[in-house]
Structure formats: C-alpha cells, structure tokens
Amino acid sequence: MGAAMKPTVARIDVEEFLFREADLLDEWRLPEWLELFTDDAHYYVPSTDVAPDASPDNNLFYIADDRFRLGERVARLMKRTAHAEYPRSKLRHLVSNVRLVSAAEGEIRAKASFVVFRAKDGVMDQYVGSYRYRLVASEAGLRIAEKRCNLDMDGLRPQGRISFIL
C-alpha cells in the first residue's frame, strides 16, 4: 500500500471505538452513547427480507432513525415509562470480525459481526448480524455518521422486539 493510500485511522482504532460503544450500550449509558454520533447521523435496522443495501425510503424497516429520532429513542429508553425495558434487560454486545472497508476524505467505512444477548424475566434472547458503519474522524475522535445493523435472522422470532439499542 502506497503512502498516499495509507489510512490515518487503523483497524485497531476502529475496533477500540466499537468496543467502547458496546460497553456504553451494555451499561445503559445511552446519553453518552448518543454523543458518539454526528449531528446528521442515522441508525438503521432493516427488516430481514430486504436486500442488505435496501433504502428505508421505499422499504419497511424495523428502525430508521435520523439524529432527532435517535435522540428521542434514547430519551424514551431512559424513562421508566418505556415499559418494554423497565426494569431494564441485561445486555451483552459481542463485536467481532472488525474490518475497514474504505478510508478516504475523512470518512471511514467499517464492518463488523455482532451477537447481542438480552436477558430479562428468565428469558435469554440472541440477535445476530453484521454492523456497517460510516465513521468520520473529528477532533474529538471518531464519530458515527451511520450505523446499520443487518440482522442474519429469519424475522424476530422468538425475540419479538428491538426495544434496546443493537
């Protein structure tokens, strides 16, 4: 790889960033997690029968948040009236197979595999899939411009809900 092509952000930096993100989610520190996002960020969870790159503008997703709605999602989940997560479930995000797809002009594209375990009321559910990130390098470090969670599942059975952050 020539010097001009060398990314300024290494895979290990992205991996460290994603591990820190996973910690914040597992510890339900959602307002801090929200600070990882840019002001024009998006968070997507497509339904499981659409193409991996399908658009939420003409396909029914599970979640398609702009930054405003993502902020509202966090605000909701911090309330005890978010009944689906009160009392809160126990979460564990396992993030693996982190790869840099591209890094150019300050935008880094990365992907990773995930398994999220959710435990509540004696039931353990698993969510499996791949993350696709668009990250930007800012003075404060990496920021998420887009987080897309493509589920490798045949629908949400038996899980039934995505009532936390994947």
Partner 1 sequence: MKPIMLVNRSSTTFKVSRRAFVDPAILRAEQSTIFDHSWLYLGHASELAKDGDFVVRNIAHRSILFTRDTKGKLHALFNTCAHRGAQVCREKKGNAKSFQCFYHGWVYGPDGTLRNQPGQECYAPDFNKDGSANLTPVARFEGYKDFWFICFDKNAPALSDYLGKTKEYLDIVHDQAETGLMVVGGTQEYAIRANWKLLTENSIDGFHAATTHATYFDYVKNMTGGLVKVALEGSATDLGNGHAVLEYRAPWGRPIAQWIPMWGEEGKRELDRIYHKLVARFGKERADRIALSNRNLFIFPNLIINDIMALTVRTYYPMAPDYMQVNAWALAPKEETDWSRKFRLSNFLEFLGPGGFATPDDVEALEQCQRGFQNMKEAGWNDISKGMSKAAQSYDDESQMRAFWTRWNEHVQTAGVE
> Rule CB under 8 A: which residues touch partner 1?
45-50, 54, 56-64, 68-69, 72-73, 75-76, 79, 81-85, 121, 123, 154-163
Strands 123-138 and 141-151: antiparallel
Tell me the CA end-to-end span of the chain in Å, nearest whole number: 34
Q: How far is the CB of 27 from partner 1 (least distance, A)?
A: 21
Q: Which residues contact 146 (CB under 8 A, 6 or more apart)?
A: 41, 42, 43, 44, 132, 133, 134
**Of 36 and 165, which CB lies nearer to partner 1 in the complex structure?**
165
Assign residue 3 a region (left: φ > 0; alpha: ψ between -120 and 50; beta: otherwise): alpha
Record the tokens describing residue 110, joined without a space.
């990365």
Minimum Å gap between C-beta 89 and partner 1 is: 11
* Residue nearer to partner 1 on the CB measure, 2 or 158: 158
| Smaller CB separation from partner 1, 45 or 103 | 45
In the complex, the smallest distance separating the C-beta of residue 60 from partner 1, rounded to whole angstroms, is 3
